[in-house]
Structure 1
Amino acid sequence: MELKDKVIIVTGGGSGIGAAACRRFAQEKPAAIIVADRNQAGAAATAATLVQHTTAQAVACDVGVEAEVQALVQGAIQRFGRVDVFFANAGIALPGGLDAPNESWQRCWDVNLMAHVYAARAVVPQMVANGGGYFLSTASAAGLLSHVDSPTYAVTKHGAVAFAEWLAINHGHEGLRVSCLCPQGVRTPMLMGAEGDRKSFLQDGMLEPEQVADEIVKVIRAETFLILPHPEVADYVRHKANDIDRWLGGMRKVKAKSRALLGQ
């Protein structure tokens, strides 16, 4: 798919990958980009950078609340007539292992997974009625592999990948194109703010959001499922499938290195 003349919604567009994607999409001359973020000021700041290329609108939206996602989509349809591309990008990472409180599990569930379900409920029927559309979602390499520190992140990102697969299986024949973004480390406020002393551990292979945005546009044009800005992730997935016990042993070594850096 080409993005020219398309109506695009991006959640989590106020910073990080979402903001970079908005800027990159704008270069393709879409009809409009709706920048959604829980942080209204962040969404507005991103939208202000787009107006030289396209019509841009900033919308405050908590994607973990279905009514707000429905209002986001309906507002776009009322103003622009349709939604061609929905990028379900907003996500969160919360600390904690087995001690993570139920509230953390619920919030990660709502934002990292159910927000994608809410978005698909809102946009897929009208996309199909219009002959097709594109549903993009941000998961993580953790959704294909795991996360050595955060079970809430690993589990909900696995769910995001599974839901994207289900969409592609069940609606691909109706013209819906689906891609799932699964990067490793990206220099975003979420990662850099949450990781603290582990920043040096994550520097190797870390990408800038703009690099990820370039890869997203390439995959949209190719209409393939996985977006892997870190191509080595495909090798890791193959290793996991070929010998999961050996892979688990390798992940335990990664966890040991993480503990050592934290002085645990």
Structure 2
Amino acid sequence: MEIVDKVAIVTGAGAGIGAALARRLVAGGARVVLADLDAEGVGRVAESLGAGAVAVGGDVSDELVIRGLIERAEAEFGPVDLYFANAGIGGGAGLDSTDQQWAAALEVNVMAHVRAARLLVPGWRERGGGYFVATASAAGLLTQLGSAPYAVSKHAAVGFAEWLSVTYGDHGIRVSCVCPMGVDTRLLHTGLVPPEHAAEAELAVKAVTTAGAVLSPDEVAEVVLAGVSDEHFLILPHPEVLKMYRHKGSDYDRWLDGMRRFQAALQG
């Protein structure tokens, strides 16, 4: 997959990984629609990128908003070639997470992907190709200490990306699933767990920042676009996640014991 002259949509593009992806896409010759709930923020990012980028504010878990993104891309640039389902949120803490917190995490981290694919895949099948890039998390392969909704919704995001690849890969549709650990974004520092759950919020951040390097959004975007160019399904900005994932699969009970010890050490 080459990005020159391609049309892309990037959600969660007002800051962080999404903004970095948009910058690299435009620099590589793509034309991009940037979307974010923060309309002012995403507008500033798009303005900085020139004529190859436009911004749309809105909730990208809303099917009407997603439909509007696709229509805007087609009107400005042409049919959508790549969709980066990058927007994501944290969630509640543990069993005391509210139904609203669970619903919000599932809506943004999972159903936003489902709804976008529902709108894009039929047209991609007719055209013979398209590319769906889902930003999940290492938490979707491993887990997230301190936040049940985040851990569960990111597992679901990985599962949906797998299903999409298996089901439509023979129809020219490519899928990648991005699973980073620590990235220097607002989500890591203030958004994984609500601040009123101070102990769980501290645990969640420590679990990420002590497990490996905290990368910049630009470093992650570079790895993501390299993975897309090579059409890799699993894109791991932190390569050590693969070793962790293999350990988990080879001896699940031992991995669970190790995670409990890791949690106890962080809380001690």
TM interval, short-chain normalised: over 0.9
Displacement, 1:74? Answer: 2.2
Q: In the TM superposition, what are the counterparts of 1:63-102 in structure 2 within 5 Å? A: 63-102=60-99
Structure 2 residue aligned with 1:207:
215
Match of 1:33 in 2: 32
Paired with 2:238 and 2:136, the residues of 1 have a C-alpha distance of 13
Moved more, 76-85 or 141-150: 76-85
AA of the residue aligned to 2:18: G
Aligned counterparts, 1:41-60, within 5 A? 41-51=40-50, 55-60=52-57
**Match in the other structure for 1:232:** 240
Q: What is the rounded CA distance, in whole Å, between the counterparts of 1:22 and 1:251 in structure 2? A: 35
SS at match of 1:49: helix
Q: Distance in 1 between matches of 2:18 and 2:78?
A: 23
Any idea what SS the aligned residue of 1:212 has? helix
> Does residue 157 in structure 1 map to residue 154 in structure 2?
yes
Q: Which residue of 2 aligns with 1:189?
A: 186
Tell me the residue number matched to 2:252: 244
After TM superposition, the runs of 4+ consecutive aligned structure 1 residues lying more than 6 A away are none
Per-residue CA deviations over 1:155-210 (Å, capped at 9, x if unaligned) read 11000001001110111111111000000010001111236656566164111111
Q: Deviations over 1:15-49 (max 9, x none)?
A: 1110111111111111x110000100111111122
Alpha carbons 1:148, 1:254 under 8 Å: kept: no
Moved more, 208-217 or 120-129: 120-129
Equivalent position of 1:146 in the other structure: 143
CA distance in 2, matches of 1:89, 1:65: 14
CA RMSD of aligned residues (A): 1.5
Q: What TM-score comes out, normalization by structure 1 length?
A: 0.93
Show the counterpart of 2:170.
173
The 5 A counterparts of 1:8-23 are: 8-23=8-23
Q: Partner letter of residue 18 of structure 1?
A: G
The count of aligned residue pairs is 257
Indicate conservation of the 8 Å contact 1:61/1:72, yes or no.
no
Q: Show structure 2 runs of 5+ residues with no match.
A: 193-200
Percent identity between the two aligned chains: 46
CA distance in 2, matches of 1:234, 1:49: 36
Alpha-carbon distance in structure 2 between the residues aligned to 1:58 and 1:131 = 27
TM-score where L is the length of structure 2 = 0.92
- Equivalent of 2:128 in 121, 128, 131: 131
Residues 113, 157 of structure 1: 8 Å contact kept? yes
Structure 1: distance between partners of 2:265 and 2:90: 20
